[in-house]
Amino acid sequence: MTAEFNRNVLHAINRELDAGFEPEAFDHVAFFDDENEWVEMRLRARSHQSVAIPGAELAIDIAEGEDIRTEISAKFTPARITRELGAAGFGLERFYTDGLFGLSLARRL
């Protein structure tokens, strides 16, 4: 199911931008990036492909084994939120959570 959801990105580009991707010519790849604390979804070309994307006035070559990153899914802990808000000039006022989801209230420093 996740692989088909990921390949749907290529179906959407084909439909919306008249592109020539062959979605089934890509393998779904997912992994956790420890350094950035996120899950990445990628599509890996099974063979070399030259793809025209007329709606974007673009043509691209994708090498066999080359990845297209399609999604980043990050999970934020209160410590990470505080750190990232601080880097952007904000401070965390309150953090509300039900244990699964969180809502942050931030103010400009």
**Rounded Cα gap, residues 22 and 7, in angstroms:** 9
The model's pLDDT over 51-93, given as tens digits with 9 standing for 90+, comes to 999 999 999 999 999 999 999 988 788 888 999 999 999 999 9
What SS3 state is found at 4?
helix
Q: Which residue has the tokens 């062959």?
A: 22
Q: Where are the domains of the chain?
A: 1-75, 76-109
Q: Would strands 58-62 and 90-97 be described as parallel, antiparallel, or unpaired?
A: unpaired
Alpha-helical regions (H) of 1-109? 2-17, 78-87
CB atoms within 10 A of CB 48: 11
The model's pLDDT over 7-43, given as tens digits with 9 standing for 90+, comes to 999 999 999 999 999 999 999 999 999 888 889 999 9
Tokens of 22: 């062959």
Amino acid at 48: H
Task: Please report the pLDDT score of residue 74 as a whole number.
Answer: 84
